[in-house]
Amino acid sequence: MKVTFIGGGYVGLVYSIMSAYSGHEVVCLDKDEGKIKLLRESVIPIYEPGLSEYASSVLKEGRIKFLRSYDSSISSSDLFFICVGTPSLPGKGLNLEYIYEALENLLPFLSEGSIIVVKSTVPPGTCDSLKAFLKSAGKECSVISNPEFLREGKAVRDFLNPDRVIIGTRDEKAGKALSDFYRYGKEKNIQIIYTDAVTAELTKYASNAFLAAKVGFINEIADLCEVLGADVKDVSKGMGADPRIGPEFLNPGPGFGGSCFPKDISALAFLAREKGLKSSITEAVIKSNEERAKNLAGKIIKILERNSVKPEEAAVSFFGLSFKAGTDDLRSSPALEIIKILKERVQTIAAYDPALKDKTAPLPLGILNLSSPEGARGYSDAFVIATEWEEFKNLDFSLLSGSGGSKIIIDLRSVTDRAKWRAEGFDYYSIGAVDGA
Ligand code: UGA
């Protein structure tokens, strides 16, 4: 099929490159000239394992074109995917101006029956409003909601093996055309769920909010484990073995972050308020995540003090700054939220993150950029593991802490070996473990 993607951000890039790889003829449009230039040279401006290899191969084979401006070559597209950003507004509703801008730019290239597919996460009702907008501009088009469920760091895998595809339209012909786009997943028996646009839009919000609630819930249980002397890992295992609960998203940690969960869950709560409903569960999940950073920062200070380290004279090293492993994305990163609070008391905060490309670039909040884990040697009053990168499992904290100084490991992701570091004389804290606090 011939398909056009508007927006070369995270979702647009993964979808356009991987659609080309799957056999479609693709155009990816982005108004950022610098980005288009890089993309034409196979330089992918996002960190997503595997994607640049796929990009080089589809560019070499001429299956994808990156364009800065709209031109008549897109008129014959079977599908127009909208993948532009929908940033939060101050009250936590969403700014849809980029979606409308994209449609206005598209107008001259649309004809009767053109199919617009909305991948951007938008409030329920948006696709119907967009359809009405196009109609008022003289274009009778189909507007389908087709939410994306890509995880950062695993997006290539998620594209190739989607666990479900949701097609939100009552226009059967348009829905069939979009299901043809997903034919690359046929032999994998992917589940296609056909519904209306409002339901599809709400399903995306409900999915992210439910996962965020699962994370918030296990974090709350982890806190209880610490005071009761229970082990949250085993609680998760025991809960997850029930197929009605499932084992995913039961790892406790410093809270959820990223560009999606915090934004989507706030938008869902905003939507409910706007409609005069009380969404007490959603509101509680937002609040508990905000409090998480505060509580963990307090715990770090407490651990320093019980080791007779004055926070005002301390140098603490963070391992991992991104909101989770497998990405360099710092947006709403729990590590940064904790550091923001710690900075009020702790003298120096340094950090190492394997995904940060420029190991010498200045970091936000005045954090010292350690170009390697070894750099932590000079900042070793406490080591805080904030992101679950594999390589942190094998770090030799004894070497990093040197001799004589304080020996503190605070593992917010439970990736390091508690028994080993305790045996080496560290004051070791990991979330939700027996004797955790
Ligand atoms: C999330 C969804 O998982 C995707 O399905 C969705 O497409 C995407 O948002 C989006 O809306 O575009 P992502 O933001 O990449 O994907 O992150 P997740 O892997 O879902 O993790 C979210 C947060 O929860 C992270 O901070 C992570 O560390 C935290 N988390 C996750 C935990 O603390 N514990 C867990 O057990 C799982």
Summarised one tens digit per residue, pLDDT across range 37-54 is 999 998 999 989 999 999
Rounded-to-integer distance, Cα 69 and Cα 28, Å: 10
Summarised one tens digit per residue, pLDDT across range 328-360 is 999 999 999 999 999 999 999 999 999 987 777
pLDDT at 437 over 50: no
Ligand 1: which of 210, 215, 248 to mutate, most ligand atoms within 8 Å of CB?
Answer: 215
What are the two backbone dihedrals, phi and then psi, of residue 397, each rounded to the nearest 5 degrees?
A: -70, -25
Count the neighbouring beta carbons within 10 Å of the beta carbon of residue 82.
26
> What is the pLDDT, as a whole number, of residue 105?
96
Rounded-to-integer distance, Cα 73 and Cα 138, Å: 21
Summarised one tens digit per residue, pLDDT across range 209-262 is 999 999 999 999 999 999 999 999 999 999 999 999 999 999 999 999 999 999
pTM across the whole model: 0.95
SS3 29: strand
Summarised one tens digit per residue, pLDDT across range 76-117 is 999 999 999 999 999 888 999 999 999 999 999 999 999 999
For the question of residue 260 being annotated catalytic, the response is yes
| Contact assessment for residue 95 and residue 168, using Cβ atoms and an 8 Å cutoff | no
Q: Strands 192-195 and 315-319: what pairing?
A: unpaired
Enter the tokens of residue 194. Answer: 């056909």
| Contact assessment for residue 144 and residue 172, using Cβ atoms and an 8 Å cutoff | no
The residue whose CA is least distant from atom 34 of ligand 1 is: 251
**Exposure string (b/e) for 271-293, b if CB count within 10 Å is 16 or more?**
bebeeeeebeebbebbebbeebb
Rounded-to-integer distance, Cα 216 and Cα 315, Å: 30
pLDDT at 403 over 80: no
For residues 150-164, give the mean pLDDT: 95
The residue whose CA is least distant from atom 11 of ligand 1 is: 260
For residues 400-428, give the mean pLDDT: 92
**Exposure string (b/e) for 96-110, b if CB count within 10 Å is 16 or more?**
bebbeebbeebeebb
The residue whose CA is least distant from atom 29 of ligand 1 is: 256
- pLDDT band of residue 435 (cuts 50, 70, 90) is low
- pLDDT band of residue 154 (cuts 50, 70, 90) is very high
Ligand 1: which of 151, 204, 268, 413 to mutate, most ligand atoms within 8 Å of CB?
Answer: 151
